[in-house]
Amino acid sequence: MRATQARFLDLLGADRTQFIIPVYQREYSWERPQLEDLWNDVTLAGEDGMTHFIGSFLYIPEEDSTATSIHRKLLIDGQQRMTTLSLLLAALLDFLDEDDSRAQFLTDLSPKSLRKSYLFNDDYRGESRYKLVLSMDDKATMHTLVDGSQLPEHPVRRLVEAKAFFTNKIRSRNVSPKTLWDGLNKLVIIDTELNPNEDNAQLIFESMNSKGKPLTPIDLVRNFILLSLPADRQKELYDQYWSHIEHLFGQDAEYEFNAFLWYWLYLKIPERNPKQDNAYHDFKYYVQNHDLDREPETILSELLAYATRYARLFLGQEPDPSLKRRFDRINSLGVRPVRPLLMCLYTLMDERKLTKDEFGSLCDMVESFLFRRMVVGKSTQGLNKMFAGMYRRLDDATNPKTCLTALLLAPENNATGYFPDDGEFAEALTTRDIYNGLKKGKQYLLERLEDSYHPKEPINSGMYQIEHVMPQTIDDSAAWKTMLGPDWQNIHDTLCHTLGNLTLTGYNQEYSNKSFPEKQSLQPGGYKYSPLSLNRYIADCGVWNTETIRRRAEMLADRACTIWPRPTLQENIIDQYRPRPRTTSRSGSWTIETSQPELAPGGKCRELFELLQQAIREAQPNWTLGVKKNYVGYYTDSGKALHIVIKALPSSTSLGIGLNATMDDLDDPNGYAQDKRPHGFEAGCPTRVDLRSAEDIPQVMKLINQC
């Protein structure tokens, strides 16, 4: 590697040189905040006359084919800055070309000569003519912006807007062209040229902190897979796989790809409990530990298959209408932890382990599970870990449908993944404040109830508003007070936002706070004239009070129990899937009493051990306890995946806990963890943490949950 300080314009203007953005690099991504920062940097440098450092530019030279060939350099880091500064130069030179007097400050130079030096290699033709060649879709737009030709049919928005931003800034004349030119000449960089035979471009790329928009997981993953490959192989794999992945997520879907990567990792390494903000590092762990870094096509093929499923499930790209309706309904609930489970089920359908009808019915069951929990007020916290324990069992199951049904029915009433029964579901529907307490699900609830009357002719989601039959405000309505009776205030407070008093209408504004008879007979939108089945009961009522509201709520709750059914399965089958503590021993039948008597009932560490066990059960319901000769441990995957080990420490009531994660992988701001490499604490666990009292359990659990 050769790194030297240089002026940016000396790098860009090097003779017979062309910078090429490799196919694995992200598209141009700068928006107005980054453009403003760069504009301010250039103008400040021009005004104060001081050099201004704008970061490193990292590239690998390609071998020249002949002595007169263009010198091509693959730009690994600095793409966004070089592209933006080239657009600034193009906008400045366009402005100078319009009037010769504007360029007098250049003295012996001309705008044409500057174009030749910094934007073009005029002695060459075709693509070699351009100093900077962007990748894929960006390329054609960039070429037209620097040479002034007509934009392509589908130009890249960010590139067009970037040049327009600089053009407008220059034309505002708040900064003179001379100041801009002086500023460009004061920009200083670290010019870093790699030796392809000696330098690891991927590691260097990851360690560099360039100024500008931070790299996203989609950039890092693409570079990780493609960067080390020969250029022709990069293009081949990009065209065959990666370009399709990017198009699935769209130009502005960086967050969505990160979410996809996180959920995909939950399917691949659920025992590692992947973190969304650590998705790239977990991806590297998975690829390197499965030797997939040597087989880029294998990992790209798998990513494309799962990205396609993800886009169909959650980005509205499912071609099958019946499946798409199911996906749209589930997505409207906004419960993101279910996404890996649905990806798993879609994969089982693609692998012909489920038929399309079975997959559809399982989606319906998952929808019922999620919505029933939402209605009764169950938290979504813990669902990620609960679902993570299902993926490998589903993949191994001879009957995935029975397996998932049993897994969803197995948790007891007070457990993380409890599936509410009809009684609890109906009780919540009839009594709960649906309007305020079911913010994500209230529209969905009423629309699904309406559709149940005519399932082959569903209404369009969002076309109707939610209406309170008894208005939200009746303080000034004598008619409503009279109809409700002397206890009108209590009735209103209790029933106004419940299901029995809510419906759908297109005439919400017209209804306002009108009396009940007026709402029924309003022309043309009164309840008596409404085409919606939800309004038939309301239209037929002679009075709207406690009795009629509660009667309607009970009728709708009964109907809801059939729309969102709770499945049934023989209890003996469900029992096979209920989590229970079990020992896992490959050599002998060890018990806590024989292996770790200090942890057994009556032992000096028993009380602290029980409190730790309770915390682990709540946080990691799919982990099981196993006993070995020298320790007890928590496992998943039928005892194959060890997460932590626990043993009593000599001459104390403290517990020593071995973590199956390195110090490098742990977030430990309080310094609890101890590095025990290279020998390990116990069972090869590279990290140890000591639990000395119950007060330390919350902090220790933060480390355990990372294993």
User: Does residue 229 belong to any structural domain of this protein?
Assistant: no
The strands making up 624-627's β-sheet, listed across from edge to edge, are 624-627, 632-636, 641-648, 655-659, 687-691, 674-675
HEC string for 513-549 = CCCHHHHHHCCCCCHHHCCCHHHHHHHHCCCCCHHHH
Out of 150, 180, 213, a domain closes at 213
Tokens of 667: 């977030």
146 and 260 belong to one structural domain: no
**DSSP, res 466:** E
pTM of the model: 0.67
User: Does residue 115 belong to any structural domain of this protein?
Assistant: yes
Alpha-carbon gap, residue 645 to 651, rounded angstroms: 19
Beta bridge partners of 468: 502
70 and 143 belong to one structural domain: yes
313 and 394 belong to one structural domain: yes
408 and 484 belong to one structural domain: no
Name the stretches of the chain with pLDDT < 70.
24, 63-68, 197-215, 251-253, 579-589, 637-639, 651, 678-679
User: Does residue 555 belong to any structural domain of this protein?
Assistant: yes
16 and 92 belong to one structural domain: yes
Q: What is the pLDDT of residue 204?
A: 61
Q: What is the pLDDT of residue 275?
A: 83
User: Does residue 568 belong to any structural domain of this protein?
Assistant: no
Report whether 212 contacts 34 (CB < 8 A): yes
**DSSP, res 30:** -
- 40-99: pLDDT as tens digits: 999 999 998 888 899 889 888 876 545 557 888 989 889 999 999 999 999 999 999 998
User: Does residue 478 belong to any structural domain of this protein?
Assistant: yes
User: Does residue 143 belong to any structural domain of this protein?
Assistant: yes
**DSSP, res 462:** T
246 and 141 belong to one structural domain: no
User: Does residue 572 belong to any structural domain of this protein?
Assistant: no
Alpha-carbon gap, residue 424 to 441, rounded angstroms: 17
12 and 137 belong to one structural domain: yes
410 and 442 belong to one structural domain: no
388 and 508 belong to one structural domain: no
190 and 42 belong to one structural domain: yes
Among 474, 516, 510, 520, residue whose Cα is nearest residue 493: 474
Q: What is the pLDDT of residue 203?
A: 62
| Opening angle at CA 103, ends 99 and 105, nearest 5 | 150
- 592-622: pLDDT as tens digits: 877 788 888 878 888 899 899 999 988 888 8
185 and 38 belong to one structural domain: yes
User: Does residue 462 belong to any structural domain of this protein?
Assistant: yes
412 and 431 belong to one structural domain: no
How many domains does the chain fold into? 4
Alpha-carbon gap, residue 388 to 408, rounded angstroms: 13
Out of 417, 450, 473, a domain closes at 417
Out of 178, 213, 248, a domain closes at 213
What number of CA atoms fall less than 13 Å from residue 373's CA on the CB side? Answer: 26
Provide DSSP, 263-295. HHHHHH-GGG---GGGHHHHHHHHHHHTTGGG-
CATH number assigned to the domain comprising residue 643: 3.90.1150
Alpha-carbon gap, residue 402 to 399, rounded angstroms: 6
369-394 burial, b if ≥16 CB within 10 A, otherwise e? Answer: bbbbbbbbebebebbbbbbbbbbbbb
**DSSP, res 108:** T
Q: What is the pLDDT of residue 251?
A: 61
Domain that holds residue 374: 235-417
Q: What is the pLDDT of residue 385?
A: 83
